[in-house]
Amino acid sequence: MVSPTPVITVNRRGTARLRNGHLWVYRSDLPQNVDVPRGTLVQVRDERGRQLGSALYSDASQIAIRLLSREEITEEQLPSLLRQRIATAVKFRQQTSRDTDSYRVVFSEADLLPGLIVDKYNDVLSMQALTQAFDRRDLRQIVGETLAEEFPACSLVERADQHIRELEQLPGRASQLVRGERSSTIFTMNNVRFHFDALAGQKTGAFLDQRENYAAAARYAHGEALDCFSYQGGFALHLARVCEHVTGVDSSRPALEIAEQNEQLNRPSHRCGDIEWIEANAFDLLKDYASAGRQYDTIVLDPPAFAKTKRAVATALRGYKELNLRALKMLRPGGVLVTCSCSFHVSEAEFLEMLGAAAADADRRVRILEKRGQAKDHPILLNVPETAYLKCIIVSIMH
């Protein structure tokens, strides 16, 4: 006999959130005594018993409910819904990401598959479950089978992020190859080649969400370039095609070692000769270079997320301002700054305000060339603001 799908009642605030198009309900908007197995499908109702849809439940996360469908569906219908959603996600990328062999195939909430991430790096797919539900063996199997049908030539690696697993109270697990033979490959973005190894100690890959911004940066970049927070060379390798000299800075030696390997792959098409890789704290390096009077024509700032929580925003903005101020001071007239923030909690408006304040302090007149965000394979779901996180502002220094 099939057991009935559990029902969870959400309070008025939770109901309003869902009615406004968000997919999440926080634990504080649920009754205190919810007794539902972790990772199961639940029917969501308001306090008057009206149906709000079906959701996936987590007993660990503050995000207790992630809505999957506005219809009420059963566990038996779940596999076909997931297959359909994955197929739709794949089709969307066929329209938006044609010029690359690497893109995000499934972006969680933005593909109405909350808790599931799938990235494609050429012929290797990397799948990651962010929630108890998508960590279920049966759901992982359905996802795996569907991906095999959609991408028959690709291997599949299940990535386990220990931090996320702890938040969801999931048992520790190692990343593993679950289909095919390859867990490493070489992939191409904008004709630039990168190593990818899903199982190596130091995870390789690039920030797929920056793919279109790499290309945009290369359209404006010129002269002497400095790429701060270079990681495995994402921006630096693109700048190397058009700039006379490129320096990539990162505090992580393993990241720079892979950046160098990536450089080898692309050397023939570099205009700048060797890229100079520097292992350093970018804050210190910018400070030293600025006081030494160094100048550049192009600077990229792509730091890690400074504001991981709302409370950290003020401190984060101070960090961004310090970096941007130094960079703006070091740019020659006509120079270009590509400045990014991947902190969801820092809005584009706040980021622009910070940049304006930095320009004023640096005594520079600055013109915005482009206001950009994440690549199209990381779509933004309106009414789920958390799906929009990346800012990439390109400005030029006026003469």
Structure tokens at 399: 């003469």
Q: Which one among 283, 312, 348, 357 touches ligand SAH, defined by CB under 6 A? A: 283
Chain residues 227-256 in contact with ligand SAH, contact rule CB under 6 A? 229-232, 234-235, 249-252, 255
Structure tokens at 185: 């490959």
Each residue 321-340 as x (binds ligand SAH by CB under 6 A) or -, in order, gives --------------------
Structure tokens at 330: 């070091």
Chain residues 286-325 in contact with ligand SAH, contact rule CB under 6 A? 302-304
Long-range contacts of 167-176 (CB under 8 A, 24+ apart): 167/60, 167/61, 168/58, 168/60, 168/61, 168/130, 168/131, 168/132, 168/135, 169/38, 169/59, 169/60, 169/132, 170/132, 170/135, 175/199
Report in angstroms how near the CB of residue 283 gets to ligand SAH at its nearest: 6
Report in angstroms how near the CB of residue 307 gets to ligand SAH at its nearest: 14
Residue number with CB closer to ligand SAH (81 or 258): 258
H/E run at residue 156: strand 155-159
**Tokens 């008057």 map to which residue?**
48
Residue number with CB closer to ligand SAH (135 or 227): 227
- 342: annotated active-site residue: yes
Catalytic site residue from 154, 272, 342, 392: 342
User: Which of the ranges 18-26, 44-52, 279-287, 320-328 carries the binding residues for ligand SAH, by CB under 6 A?
Assistant: 279-287
User: Which of the ranges 111-119, 206-214, 288-296, 389-397 carries the binding residues for ligand SAH, by CB under 6 A?
Assistant: 206-214
State the Cα–Cα distance between residues 60 and 64, nearest whole angstrom.
Answer: 7
Structure tokens at 65: 């409910």
Residue 264 in 3-state DSSP? helix
Q: Which one among 92, 121, 207, 320 touches ligand SAH, defined by CB under 6 A? A: 207
- Number of residues forming the site for ligand SAH (CB under 6 A): 20
Q: Is 123 left (phi over 0), alpha (psi -120 to 50) or beta?
A: alpha
Active site residues: 342
Chain residues that interact with ligand SAH, rule: CB under 6 A: 206-207, 210, 229-232, 234-235, 249-252, 255, 281-283, 302-304
